[in-house]
Amino acid sequence: MDKENTIKLFEDNRVRVLWDEKHEKWYFSIVDVIGVLTDQSTKRGATFYWSKLKQRLKEEGSELLTNCQQLKMVSEDGKKRMTDIADTEQLLRLIQSIPSPKAEPFKSWLARVGSERIDETADPELAIDRALETYLKKGYSRNWINQRLKTIEVRKELTDEWEKRGVTDKRDFAILTDEITQTWSGKTTRQYKKIKGLKKENLRDNMTNVELVLNMLAEVTTTDISRQDEPETMEQHKKVAQRGGSVAKVACAV
């Protein structure tokens, strides 16, 4: 695992985290988070609390413990020791099990987000409105936002086409996306994100108007070629993706 050691401030307390570049995930020290949320004065107290919580979760039949992992993290004595860690999803699930006033804001936020997602399932237009509002709050121009929303539509048409042709695994989606991106830009998606200094952030959210247009051109062309050629194997899909990316590459050189 290619990790980046980082210390995050969590309400003025130090929470150890690790960045997994391969899977593009943050991992948090469970003991550190528990220590913050339950106001434990020592690591020993937080460790004891986590031990008791694990026992309760086990009795409740929670799958959280099965999915949690251990990784080496730098401890207070400066040595690396195996530490229970959780990714963001696991951490939020864990927080729901902690009866603490400091955990309540997280629980309220999770309930609100869950309610919004249910509403958006019934009325997808709400998701578009929410995206527009989010981009405006982040300071994007309306021209850029219009381009970005168009890329979402184009991307959906492409993934629908892939699924229609038998490509359903997200890993295969990522492989084909890399073929498109690398062909027109000379960089894989991961390399592109690294150049822009991104981790979990969406690459398209950090593209310029020109980059968005070129990427859309590549994906639209890939969709059209796929509909015409009707590829059946992954190798055939890769060749179609490369042809789609090539069209954008030519446009980029003009």
pLDDT for 75: 84
pLDDT > 90 in the chain, percent = 47
What letters, b where the CB count within 10 A reaches 16 and e where it falls short, cover 63-85? Answer: ebeeebeebebeeeeeeeeebbb
Is the pLDDT score of 2 beyond 50?
Answer: no
pLDDT band at 254 (very low <50, low <70, confident <90, very high): low
198-238 pLDDT tens trace: 888 889 999 999 999 999 999 999 999 999 999 999 999 99
Cβ atoms of residues 18 and 26 within 8 Å: yes
Residues 6+ apart with CB under 8 A from 52: none
95-133 pLDDT tens trace: 889 988 888 888 888 888 889 888 888 888 888 888 889
162-199 pLDDT tens trace: 999 999 998 999 999 999 999 999 999 989 999 999 88
pLDDT for 4: 42
Q: 26 - beta bridge partners? A: 19
> Which of 9-18, 49-58, 174-183 has the least mean pLDDT?
9-18
Average pLDDT in the chain:
87
The number of C-alpha atoms within 13 Å of 69 and in the hemisphere containing its C-beta is: 10
* Other beta carbons less than 10 A from residue 251's beta carbon: 15
Secondary structure of the chain in HEC code, one letter for each residue? CCEEEEEEEECCEEEEEEEECCCCEEEEEHHHHHHHHCCCCCHHHHHHHHHHHHHHHHHCCCCHHHHCEEEEEECCCCCEEEEEEEEHHHHHHHHCCCCCHHHHHHHHHHHHHHHHHHHHHHCCHHHHHHHHHHHHHCCCCHHHHHHHHHHHHHHHHHHHHHHHCCCCCHHHHHHHHHHHHHHHHCCCHHHHHHHCCCCCCCCHHHCCHHHHHHHHHHHHHHHHHHHHHCCCCHHHHHHHHHHHHHHHHHHHHC
Is the pLDDT score of 8 beyond 70?
Answer: no
Measure Cα distances from 250 to 121, 245, 253 in Å: 39, 9, 5
Model's pTM, two decimal places?
Answer: 0.67
| Residue extents of the structural domains in the chain | 3-117, 133-253
